[in-house]
């Protein structure tokens, strides 16, 4: 087994495979595209669904202390005032006076090895950075709010302005009392949500790593204030275990303690889980201690009491504190794809590309391959395919040589190929080929569902 040599080459190969095999397409392509937007194709959509289902099963369904919600993307704009996003969800924007390209001032400083101090980079950047594209002079940084604004109704009036949510978290905070009252959960407990978030990023890029529209899988975990550290450590370990379960290469995953000005406005402590992407080590997920910041601010702005009553002492009321594991779906998928990608040298000098997905994430669990297109093999193969489809996502492929078809399935990460040959008509069995070991064995057709159920 061998990984490709150059990281830039690796990324190019992955982007090209993603397009060629239907994982990820450039957005709006027939109209010349829309920069930094991407559409998930048939295999990408299935992989993404498997990933989200796995997260939901692990983070919500299998935990007695968790429930889920599905909140709206459009919410009352007062929410974003209370959450601090209107005032502080900014990045420092600089523009080149010559070529008019825009950059994040903190990114330009980092490239020069200067530690940026949050959004307050004005004194730092002056005379120290020029346009990285044309060397032109840069404007002074200005705070640029990342929220997308739109309008409800026909008049584009500021009183009708709403924001596309920049994080899913706020729908959880504003529904805290609804969930508490309808589920009667006791502390500590968490509320989870998966959904779209939008940010008008100054410098999107690196494929699906930083985009304007993305999905988040977030948990707001409510605790009695003095216990936040235990919850924080518990979630950190839980997230690392999950990373391994979904096939993220543990050697490429690292914890970064976020310090000082780099902490978000709501956070007292944050760990970034960073991944070694081909373009450098960058944030994959975050884990933040949000204190009572959000519930307290929503209580102030809405006039509602957002409190918890102690089960054993009804007179004891307090605002729970919050620990937040926050995971981006698209970045997770990118890390899964990069961890799964392998090029294996074969005897005879050939190389095969394999996506070594865990069986639970693989878009197809198996592929039915008739050895020949002749009706005597194609018809029973097709019938087998349609039978298996009722239980598993399965592919069917009858074109080109069996060797080429194996390679095609390796390249999309299908764990098993089921070859229906002329012997199958006699012994009622197919050859099952394992993606990783390439070992083959004969399995009775009537036992295939049980075989796959056990193997996957």
Residue stretches of the annotated binding site for ATP: 199-201, 209-214, 283-284, 328-331
Which of 21-29, 321-329, 344-352, 430-438 is the region at the interface with ligand GAP (rule: CB under 6 A)? Answer: 321-329
- Which string of DSSP letters, residue by residue, matches 179-241? HHHHH---SSEEEEEEEEEE---SS-BTTTTB-SEEEEEEEEEEE-GGGHHHHHHHHHHHHHH
Which of 153-161, 277-285, 299-307, 437-445 is the region at the interface with ligand GAP (rule: CB under 6 A)? Answer: 277-285
Q: Which of 44, 190, 247, 286 binds ligand GAP (CB under 6 A)?
A: 286
- Is 180 a binding residue for ligand GAP by CB under 6 A? The answer is no
CB of 352 to ligand GAP, least distance (A): 31
- Alpha-carbon dihedral sign for residues 292, 294, 297, 298: negative
Q: How far apart are CA 382 and CA 388, in angstroms?
A: 10
Q: Which of 218, 397, 398, 410 binds ligand GAP (CB under 6 A)?
A: 218
In the annotated binding site, the residues are: 104, 167, 199-201, 209-218, 283-284, 324-331
Nearer Cβ to ligand GAP, position 81 or 157?
A: 81
Nearer Cβ to ligand GAP, position 193 or 414?
A: 193
Q: Which of 193, 211, 381, 424 binds ligand GAP (CB under 6 A)?
A: 211
- Residues 406-445 touching ligand GAP, rule: CB under 6 A, are none
Q: How far apart are CA 161 and CA 217, in angstroms?
A: 26
CB of 181 to ligand GAP, least distance (A): 24
Q: Which of 224, 283, 343, 360 binds ligand GAP (CB under 6 A)?
A: 283
CB of 374 to ligand GAP, least distance (A): 48
Nearest to 147 by CA among 166, 160, 161: 166
Question: Phi then psi for 138, rounded to 5 degrees?
Answer: -100, 150
Between 329-340 and 7-20, two packed helices, what is the crossing angle to 10 degrees?
Answer: 110
Which of 115-123, 214-222, 291-299, 415-423 is the region at the interface with ligand GAP (rule: CB under 6 A)? Answer: 214-222
H/E element holding 107? helix 105-111
Nearer Cβ to ligand GAP, position 218 or 421?
A: 218
Nearer Cβ to ligand GAP, position 283 or 307?
A: 283
- Which string of DSSP letters, residue by residue, matches 165-196? -S-SHHHHHHTHHHHHHHH---SSEEEEEEEE
Nearest to 352 by CA among 428, 417, 429, 398: 417
Which of 4-12, 281-289, 362-370, 413-421 is the region at the interface with ligand GAP (rule: CB under 6 A)? Answer: 281-289
Q: How far apart are CA 56 and CA 217, in angstroms?
A: 9
What radius of gyration, in Å, describes the C-alpha atoms of the chain?
A: 26
List of residues contacting ligand GAP (CB under 6 A): 167, 169, 199, 201, 210-211, 214, 216, 218, 283-286, 324, 326-328, 330-331
């Amino acid at each position: 087994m061998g990984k490709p040599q150059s990281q830039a080459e690796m990324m190019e190969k992955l982007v090209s495979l993603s397009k060629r095999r239907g994982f990820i397409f450039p957005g709006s392509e027939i109209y010349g595209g829309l920069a930094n937007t991407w559409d998930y194709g048939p295999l990408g959509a299935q992989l993404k669904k498997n990933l989200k289902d796995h997260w939901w099963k692990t983070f919500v369904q299998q935990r007695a202390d968790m429930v889920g919600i599905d909140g709206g993307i459009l919410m009352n704009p007062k929410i974003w005032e209370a959450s601090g996003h209107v005032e502080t969800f900014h990045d420092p924007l600089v523009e080149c006076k010559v070529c008019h390209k825009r950059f994040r001032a903190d990114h330009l400083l980092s490239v020069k090895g200067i530690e940026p101090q949050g959004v307050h980079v004005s004194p730092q950047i002056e005379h120290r950075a020029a346009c990285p594209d044309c060397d032109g002079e840069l404007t002074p940084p200005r705070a640029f709010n990342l929220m997308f604004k739109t309008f409800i109704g026909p008049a584009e009036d500021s009183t009708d302005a709403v924001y596309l949510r920049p994080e899913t978290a706020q729908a959880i905070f504003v529904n805290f009392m609804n969930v508490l009252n309808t589920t009667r959960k006791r502390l500590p407990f968490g509320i989870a949500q998966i959904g779209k978030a939008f940010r008008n990023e100054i410098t999107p890029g690196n494929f699906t790593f930083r985009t304007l529209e993305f999905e988040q899988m977030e948990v707001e975990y409510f605790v009695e204030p003095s216990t936040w550290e235990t919850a924080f450590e518990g979630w950190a370990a839980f997230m690392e275990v999950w990373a391994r379960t979904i096939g993220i290469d543990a050697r490429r995953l690292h914890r970064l303690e976020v310090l000082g000005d780099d902490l978000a406005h709501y956070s007292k402590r944050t760990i970034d889980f960073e991944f070694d992407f081909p373009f450098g080590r960058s944030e994959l997920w975050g884990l933040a201690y949000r204190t009572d910041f959000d519930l307290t601010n929503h209580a102030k702005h809405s006039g509602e009491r957002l409190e918890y009553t102690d089960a054993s002492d009804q007179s004891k009321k307090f605002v729970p504190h919050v620990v937040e594991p926050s995971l981006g779906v698209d970045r997770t998928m990118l890390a899964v794809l990069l961890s799964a990608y392998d090029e294996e040298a074969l005897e005879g000098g050939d190389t095969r590309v394999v996506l070594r997905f865990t069986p639970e994430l693989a878009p197809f669990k198996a592929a039915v391959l008739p050895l020949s297109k002749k009706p005597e093999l194609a018809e029973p193969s097709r019938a087998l395919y349609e039978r298996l489809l009722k239980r598993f996502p399965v592919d069917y492929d009858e074109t080109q040589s069996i060797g080429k078809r194996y390679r095609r399935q390796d390249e999309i990460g299908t764990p098993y190929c089921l070859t229906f040959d002329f012997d199958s008509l006699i012994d009622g069995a197919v050859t099952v080929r394992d993606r990783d070991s390439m070992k083959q064995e004969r399995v009775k057709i009537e036992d295939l569902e049980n075989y796959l159920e056990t193997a996957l």
